Amino acid sequence: MLCAACDGEVNGYLEELLFSKYNEMFPDSANFTGVLSDVGEIIGGATPSKKKPEYYCSNGIGWITPRDLSNTSNKFIAHGADDITDAGYASCSVKLLPKGSVLFSSRAPIGYIAIATDAVTTNQGFKSVIPKEEIGTAFVYCFLVRNKQRIADMGAGTTFPELSSKMMKSVELAVPKQSTCAKFASFAAPIFKQQEALERENDELTALRDTLLPKLLSGEIDVSKVDLTQLNSHLV
């Protein structure tokens, strides 16, 4: 099993590899020929009433907030701090985003990005993109990462900058050829698969550390009688 730091290094290398290929295959990204709504459907979110505890649960429909993305460096997500129930889902205008949707926070702050690994919902702090099948998740994800500052600069508001659905739909881009998107999606697929597996392993290692460390510090787990010479014999 890899250590958490090693997982992060490998994931970083894979991300560099992905964007190197993106830059190679889509070199005319500044030659605007369309807008973001040409490559995917833009979907907002909503929040079930917090006064109704029956709308929330720990194992239901994934419901993501910008805070969930602020608390993780993971690229992939299926659940946040809270899930919502079927009743919560039916109570408001929240919409189910299919696996492969690219989540993009549209306020407080603008520009958190993640890929849904399962069907999820979000609160109103997102303007997410459901990529058209012929375009694919990989292109949309890379485009948003590369252009998040330009998109953030479009935000408006008196209290804090925010993107409206109209603004998000109007983000200009070079509409890619379907054949090029298909090739890029094929290249990205094994990278995404490996990155997701590494993130899952890292989460498991972190959870194990958080469980064991307090017990070690409190003395609940006694390691005083562990023979370190045997543990390190392979180094001799």
Is residue 219 a part of any domain in this protein? no
Is residue 3 a part of any domain in this protein? no
Q: How far apart are CA 72 and CA 67, in angstroms?
A: 9
Is residue 121 a part of any domain in this protein? yes
> What pLDDT is attached to residue 205?
75
> What pLDDT is attached to residue 214?
67
Q: How far apart are CA 222 and CA 106, in angstroms?
A: 49
Task: Give residue-wise pLDDT tens across range 182-228.
Answer: 999 999 999 999 999 999 998 787 666 666 666 666 767 766 666 65
> What pLDDT is attached to residue 1?
45
> What pLDDT is attached to residue 206?
67
CATH of the domain at 127: 3.90.220.20
Stated pTM of the model: 0.86
Is residue 28 a part of any domain in this protein? no
Task: Give residue-wise pLDDT tens across range 73-108.
Answer: 999 999 999 999 999 999 999 999 999 999 999 998
Alpha-helix runs per DSSP H in 71-156: 86-90, 137-152
Instruction: Look up the domain containing 51 and give its range.
Output: 36-172
Q: Report CA-CA distances (Å) from 137 to 129, 167, 185.
A: 9, 21, 8
